[in-house]
Amino acid sequence: MTTRQKAGETRETAVRQDSDIAIVATAQLPAVRRQELTETEMLLMVVDEALGKVDLERSDIGFSCQGSCDYISGGTFSFVPNLDAMGAWPPIHESHVEMDGAWAMYEAWVRLRHGDIDIAVAMGSGKSSTGDPAAIYPLELDPYYLAPLGLDPVSLAALQARQLIESGKSTERELAEIAARSRRDAAGNPNQQVRAAEQDVDKLLAEGYLRNPLRKSDLPPISDGACAVVLVRGPRAAELTERPAWITGIDHRSEVHNPALRDLTDSASTRLAAARAGGVAGVEVAELMAPFTAQEVILRQSLGLADGVLINPSGGALTGNPLMATGLVRIADAAEAILADGRSRTLGHATSGPALQQNLVCVLEGDNR
């Protein structure tokens, strides 16, 4: 019997299988334009909060993995001081990915699949406020053909958005509607940075272009932030929380790195990752990492999400974009839709690389009681 189960009470499917893995707790710092705390202090806070929700100590953790980026923080081996967020004693196995925390979570999930540990923590953190994303971003591009052109992320997103619009797959009005909806949703989410901005579609369309055909409302804010999730194997997950968010499928796929060689209006890797993660049938909430409005259209169409699916009810990356944590925040919000809001099947998505090059899809389910 689990600790939270009352005598005589039975659950339909308290634990699916011993090898199944669930998210049992999440925590995130509100995305802000400038965070004064260090990345380590930010991570300390989210790890404390996430563990505290399920009454765990750091000594209970078997593995931790962080996602962060030296180029964004402007320091070599910046993840080493960040490790202090886990504490030096007792020692645990730790790892780091130079990517969004969503990929750290993927590694933690793989580590739990070995079966010898029960609890892992995945984290993501980033402070974009310290550098200029337009100067840093080219360093992730093809260093031969693209980086020397100084191709900045907003320009690349605009090239993608124009192809989407001119192919007839979207319109400027639809993009403005996405911006407006994201801002309305963010207004009710204290974790999001853009909460009081203009939400009227016609007024948004009347604003000038920042990079034709994109307006400021089609772009994400520059954000600092951090996120942590607690992953637990089978039997322990059901002991720790009423209704774990079971990871029923997780997969990531990448495409050719040079965006000019792809069909920018489609995301084949997202579609494949979702199929491998169990498909989108029955998904009620999809948290898609779409820092640009047009990318939400591309992801939604590539996934074939039905009209009734709630997309980014959190406000999404358009209203809070802490690099290296944004993707993990999407998955955390998709998990909270089960943990806190009682949804049954949700989807979290993270992207990395230029113009949706790589995509990770995580499908989550809650057990009905």
Question: Residue 258 CB, nearest distance to another protein (Å)?
Answer: 7
Give the H or E element holding residue 51.
helix 39-53
- Kindly list the distances between the CA atom of residue 21 and the CA atoms of 55, 188, 235, 363, in Å, as whole numbers in the listed order: 18, 30, 9, 12
The residue to which tokens 């272009």 are assigned? 209
The residue to which tokens 């806070």 are assigned? 45
Decide: 235 and 15 in contact? Cβ < 8 Å: yes
Q: Counting contacts by CB under 8 A, is residue 253 touching another protein?
A: no
Q: Counting contacts by CB under 8 A, is residue 295 touching another protein?
A: no
Q: Counting contacts by CB under 8 A, is residue 8 touching another protein?
A: no
Site string for another protein, 162-201 (x = CB under 8 A): xx--x-----------------------------------
CA torsion sign for 238, 240, 243, 246 is: negative
With 0-12 / 13-18 / 19 or more C-beta atoms within 10 angstroms meaning exposed / middle / buried, residue 48 is middle
Q: Counting contacts by CB under 8 A, is residue 18 touching another protein?
A: no
Q: Counting contacts by CB under 8 A, is residue 131 touching another protein?
A: yes
The site that binds another protein (CB under 8 A) totals a number of residues, namely 63
Q: Counting contacts by CB under 8 A, is residue 9 touching another protein?
A: no
Interface stretch with another protein, choices 32-40, 233-241, 280-288, 340-348 (CB under 8 A): 32-40
Question: Residue 345 CB, nearest distance to another protein (Å)?
Answer: 32
Interatomic CA distance for residues 258 and 262, integer angstroms: 7
Q: Counting contacts by CB under 8 A, is residue 205 touching another protein?
A: no
Question: Residue 213 CB, nearest distance to another protein (Å)?
Answer: 8
Q: Where are the alpha helices (DSSP H) in 224-360?
A: 234-240, 268-276, 293-303, 326-339
Q: Counting contacts by CB under 8 A, is residue 91 touching another protein?
A: no
CA torsion sign for 334, 335, 338, 339 is: negative
Binding site for another protein (CB under 8 A): 34, 36-41, 44-45, 47, 58, 71, 73-75, 78, 81, 84-89, 129-132, 134-136, 138-139, 143-152, 155-156, 158-160, 162-163, 166, 209, 211-214, 255-256, 258-262, 264
